[in-house]
Amino acid sequence: MKDANLLLRRFGAALKAALAIAFLIPLFFTVLVSVRPEAEPVTNGNIFFGSEVTLDNYQRALDIAPWSLHYLNSIVFVAGTLLVQLLTVTAAAYAFARMKFFGRNILLLIILLQLMIPSGVLLVQNFRTIQLLGLFDTRVALMIPYWGSAFGVLLLRQTFREVPLELEEAARIDGANLYQVIRHVYITNAIPAYLAFALVSVSSHWNEFLWPFIITRSEEIRPLTVGLNKLIKTTDQGAFYGQLMAGTLIVIMPLVILFLVFQRQFVESFARSGIR
């Protein structure tokens, strides 16, 4: 029995290493290609290194788009989206978790439809809505379709339902109003769920391309993915992998650092967030 366990552990360790290596190979070569001369593909000469280690690709990638502006825009985009989401999602989640009202299930189902409808096909109609609202080419236009989040409602509703009802009743007896109940009973007890939601929201909007691209024209408000797109669309001249890899690394670096620093908190947040 003991031997079998040891064997299983060894097997697990080997499997873990194999998986990690398989997943990391693309990243490993992304970094290598980004510092390899563009004219020397990996099939030519040493597979790991070219004739020199160069930062030319980074230089060219940096020259082609105003990255600091794009960074700022992406930060404003994800922050503005998240902040409003937190408000709308909290309110709706509380209502669905703890209030009884006519049409509750059907209204929840309608909101959940958002998860099932691919928004990519609704571009023309949503463009028209934005146009009617007079928001075309503004930061609000970027964010507004995401201000309602079915995923967030689902996640927080689940979490709120696990907050003991007695806590709310005690607060009510102490004279707390609705805002105070939500603020001090529910939000306080759901911080991990909020963190989990923030991770999902920030990483998905940081990488959002189609909608920001369609709904904005001014360089002053366009996010990082639009800059990355400039590096990708080199059709007539073929692939510029070095420059592309450099650009991709530039775009994801903040998220990577964020994850490495906070991964334990994130995982534990998810753990306490009610998705289990």
Partner 1 sequence: MALRRVIYVLLAAALLMTFGVTYAQDDIVIDFYFPSATANDAEGIFERYAGLFEEENPGVVVNPIFTGSYTDTRNTILTELQGGGAGPDVAVMLSIDLYSFAEEGYIIPAQGFIDAMDNGADYVNDFFPALMANGVDEMGNVWAIPFQRSTPILYYNADLLTEAGYDSPPTNNAELVEIAQALTTDERDGLLVPVAGGFPIWMYQSFAIAYGQNIVSDDPTEVYFNTPEAVAAVEFVRSLGTDLGVGPAGGAAWGDTPVAFLAGQAAMIYHTTGNLTRILNDADFEVGVWYLPSGPAGDDGAGYGAPTGGGNLYIFDDGSKSAEELDAIWRWVMFLSSPEIQADWGATTGYIAANASAWETEPLASLAQEHPQYGIARDQLQHVGKEFSSYATITIQGIINGTLESILTGESEDAQAAMDAAQEQIDGILAEYR
Partner 2 sequence: MRLSARQRSLVGLLQPYLLIAPTLVLVLIFNVAPAFRTVNDSLYKPARGLNAAGRPPEFVGLQNFRDIFDDTHYMGGRFLRTLRNTVIFAAATVGIGVPLGLMTALLLNRGQPLLGLWRFAVFYPSLLPLIGAASIWSFVFSDSIGLANALLRTVGHPGLNWLGDRNLVLFSVVIVNIWKQAGYFMIFFLAGLQNISRDIYEASSLDGAGPMQQFVYLTMPLLRRTLLFVVVIAFTFAFQTVEQLQALGEGGPADSANLLLYLVFQNISERRNWGYVNAMTIVLIGLVLVFTLSNFLLFERDEPT
Q: Where are the alpha helices (DSSP H) in the chain?
A: 2-34, 56-64, 67-98, 104-116, 123-132, 139-143, 150-161, 165-173, 178-181, 191-206, 210-215, 224-232, 241-272
Nearest approach, Cβ of residue 265 and partner 1 (Å): 14
Nearest approach, Cβ of residue 47 and partner 2 (Å): 5
Give dist(CA 9, CA 3) in Å, integer. 10
Angstrom CA distances, 212 to 18, 206, 217, 241, 244, stand at: 38, 11, 9, 24, 20
**Can you tell me which of 41, 69, 167, 172 binds partner 2, judged by CB under 8 A?**
41
Contact between 132 and partner 1 by CB under 8 A: the answer reads: yes
Give dist(CA 200, CA 180) in Å, integer. 27
**Can you tell me which of 10, 104, 217, 230 binds partner 2, judged by CB under 8 A?**
104
Closest CA to 215 of 267, 111, 145, 141: 141
Give dist(CA 200, CA 218) in Å, integer. 27
Contact between 118 and partner 1 by CB under 8 A: the answer reads: no
**Can you tell me which of 34, 38, 149, 228 binds partner 1, judged by CB under 8 A?**
38
Nearest approach, Cβ of residue 141 and partner 1 (Å): 9
**Can you tell me which of 62, 95, 135, 214 binds partner 2, judged by CB under 8 A?**
95
**Can you tell me which of 54, 138, 203, 248 binds partner 1, judged by CB under 8 A?**
138
Contact between 232 and partner 2 by CB under 8 A: the answer reads: yes
Query: How many residues belong to the chain?
Result: 276
Q: How many residues bind partner 1 (CB under 8 A)?
A: 49
Binding region for partner 2 (CB under 8 A) out of 51-59, 61-69, 89-97, 134-142: 89-97
Give dist(CA 264, CA 192) in Å, integer. 12
What residues numbered 149-178 form the site for partner 2, per CB under 8 A?
Answer: 149-150, 153, 178
Contact between 229 and partner 2 by CB under 8 A: the answer reads: yes
Residues at the site binding partner 1, with contacts judged by CB under 8 A: 38-41, 43-44, 60, 63-65, 76, 79-80, 83, 123-128, 130-132, 136-140, 213-214, 217-221, 226, 229-231, 233-241, 243
